[in-house]
Amino acid sequence: MNTRDMNTQKTGAGATLDHRPGDRRPDGLLGPGTLLLVVGPSGAGKDTLIDIARARFAGDGRVLFARRLVTRPAGMDEAHGTLNEAEFEALRAQGRFPLFWRAHGLCYALGPEVAQAIAEGGVVVANGSRATLPEARARFARVRVVEVTAPVAVRAGRLAARGREDAADIEERLSRAPEVDVAPDLVIDNVGTPADGGERLGAFIAAELAATE
């Protein structure tokens, strides 16, 4: 299976059971492909920019836009696989997740298809957690970090308009600030149009493809 096929693959909890994480290199790291993590505070616009970049690389089998597994019902504004906490814990204990984290009272994971795409030399783009960057580098051979930012007042307005969380949850999201422990490879101050930010992310992905071919 190439990474384009995996782009459309269903990655709900049941579907992951047939797959094993990709082969590890002698150094124990998942490679040789790139894990490109898009991180930054809630409301900065990570998913928005990822969606724009996804459209640019539609049909490009070298790029997989990871569909996260989250213990949150799938909403209208973000496609992810949904599973409950017991399912999450069972899969985690079986070692099915190449990367997982907890935040906002939720559990998040990347599924085995991510490890497979990396093993095939692909570039995997994923919305990740700032807090999980050290773990990502401990597991993956090549990690690139794109940090998306926006002023807190802008983020507050966006989260309120998005309407996915209530006021208390939004407050928690606005105040959450885990450290980004390395200098990001790219910072996108997402205060222009979504198209502008999406173009910058897309250009970074294209450069990563060129660098790894």
Ligand X SMILES: O=P(O)(O)OC[C@H]1O[C@H](OP(=O)(O)O)[C@H](O)[C@@H]1O
Ligand Y SMILES: Nc1ncnc2c1ncn2[C@@H]1O[C@H](COP(=O)(O)OP(=O)(O)OP(=O)(O)O)[C@@H](O)[C@H]1O
Residue placing its CB nearer to ligand Y in the complex, 115 or 150 = 150
Alpha-carbon radius of gyration of the chain: 16
CB atoms within 10 A of CB 126: 22
Shortest Cβ 79–ligand Y spacing (Å): 12
Rounded CA separation 46/117 (Å): 21
- CB half-sphere exposure, 211, CA atoms < 13 A: 12
**Which listed option, ligand X, ligand Y, none, makes contact with residue 108 (CB within 5 to 8 Å by class)?**
ligand X
Q: Does 194 bind ligand Y (CB under 6 A)?
A: yes
Considering only residues 15 to 54 of the shown chain, the ones binding ligand Y according to CB under 6 A are 40, 42-48
> Is 178 annotated for ligand binding?
no
**Which ranges of the chain would DSSP assign to H, the alpha helix?**
3-7, 46-56, 85-93, 112-119, 133-139, 152-162, 167-175, 194-212
Cross-strand partners of 106: 103
Helix (H, G, I), strand (E, B) or coil at 212: helix
Residue placing its CB nearer to ligand X in the complex, 121 or 178 = 178
Number of residues that bind ligand Y (CB under 6 A): 16
Site string for ligand Y, 113-152 (x = CB under 6 A): ----------------------------------------
CB atoms within 10 A of CB 156: 17
Q: Does 162 bind ligand X (CB under 6 A)?
A: no
Residue 33 near residue 143 (C-beta atoms within 8 A): no
Residue placing its CB nearer to ligand X in the complex, 6 or 44 = 44
Q: How far is CA 126 from CA 156, 167, 175, 185, in A?
A: 23, 27, 23, 15
Rounded CA separation 10/113 (Å): 10
> Is 41 annotated for ligand binding?
yes
Q: Does 162 bind ligand Y (CB under 6 A)?
A: yes
Shortest Cβ 143–ligand Y spacing (Å): 19
Site string for ligand X, 176-195 (x = CB under 6 A): x-x-----------------
* Segment lying near ligand X (by CB under 6 A), choices 8-16, 20-28, 122-130, 193-201: 122-130
Residues found near ligand Y in the complex (CB under 6 A): 40, 42-48, 158, 161-162, 173, 190, 193-194, 197
Q: Which residues bind ligand X (CB under 6 A)?
A: 39, 42, 46, 103-104, 106, 108, 127-131, 176, 178
